[in-house]
Amino acid sequence: MRIFLLLAMLICLPYTRPAVAAERLIQLETRPGVRQPVFYMKRDGAIATVLLLPGGAGGLGAFVDGKPSGRNFLIRSRDDFADAGVNVALMGRASDKNDLDYPDRIAAEHLQDIKTLVEFLKRDTGLPVWLVGTSRGSVSATAAAIAFGNDSLAGVVLTSSVVSDKKTGAVPYQALEKIRIPVLLVHNEKDACRICAPEQVPAIMKGLINAPVKKLIMLNGGINPTGEACEALHYHGFIGIEKSTVELITGWLKRPVQ
């Protein structure tokens, strides 16, 4: 009887997320006098670390109950990444920047900030580090992969990539032939942002002539988009399909295949 009651109690317990070992905002000095904020979520049993590079101006948004409230796809999907069994580091904007515009995304200072974060994460866990960038963050991730990725990164994931030749650092116009690590592209066919036109994304694949593994996943989905087409809560930001998109990303980085 007691065993039966115990089993009944266990069955009725509400579902909770697997525990995240640590979750905190840290400030790293990445350049003399410059502090780089990163929201760090360490997961017990993680098999890798993802360094998430949000788009827009690069901020994390206001902190509510100690957590970033920004609406960017990567910010609001951070728990989905952690649930998939990876450590999550969410990169904010360095203390000497009020914006991370397109030229800032390929500047030496910004790349130094990313590199210092990657080195910290590798020392802290001993695990491989992947960059995941979205929208303007795809510009940052691509530039970092070119600058130091072959030596320091396990691979790079580019989502909602900037492809317009009118934007400095647009992904197809960077030196993609210098990337020699796995690359995953994820885009939404419904993305109506002019600078991230889906039909131009295959040009990135053509430029990755030396990547050992490269794959393009073109999605077609989303629910209740709001705001402008280039904003985070539209199809550009995978609205309504965040979890499934993250599952595709993390599943691939665990086993990169063409």
SS3 letters across 165-233: CCCCCCHHHCCHHHCCCCEEEEEECCCCCHHHCHHHCHHHHHHCCCCCCEEEEEECCCCCCCCCCCCCC
Share of the chain above pLDDT 70, in %: 92
Bridge partners, 130 (sequence order):
50, 155
Q: Left, alpha or beta for 169 (phi > 0: left; psi -120 to 50: alpha)?
A: left
Q: Pick the closest to residue 53 from 1, 111, 131, 113 (CA basis).
A: 131
- pLDDT at 32 exceeding the cut of 70: yes
- Rounded to two decimals, the pTM is 0.92
Residues 185/202, Cβ–Cβ less than 8 Å: no
Q: What are phi and psi of 236, to 5 degrees?
A: -55, -30
Report residue 186's pLDDT band, with 50, 70 and 90 as the boundaries. very high
Tell me the average pLDDT of the chain: 93
Residues 216/202, Cβ–Cβ less than 8 Å: yes
- pLDDT at 14 exceeding the cut of 70: no
Q: Lowest-confidence range among 13-27, 30-44, 169-183? A: 13-27
Q: Left, alpha or beta for 25 (phi > 0: left; psi -120 to 50: alpha)?
A: beta
Q: Lowest-confidence range among 18-27, 180-189, 233-242? A: 18-27
pLDDT at 20: 52
Report residue 11's pLDDT band, with 50, 70 and 90 as the boundaries. very low
- d(CA 230, CA 236) in angstroms, rounded, equals 6
Q: Cα separations (Å) of 30 from 33, 109, 111, 210, 234?
A: 8, 9, 10, 30, 33
Work out the average pLDDT over 60-81. 96
Work out the average pLDDT over 240-257. 97
The structure tokens listed for 89 are 């580091």
Work out the average pLDDT over 32-52. 97
Work out the average pLDDT over 168-173. 98
- pLDDT at 114 exceeding the cut of 90: yes
Q: Pick the closest to residue 42 from 121, 117, 119 (CA basis).
A: 121
Work out the average pLDDT over 224-230. 97
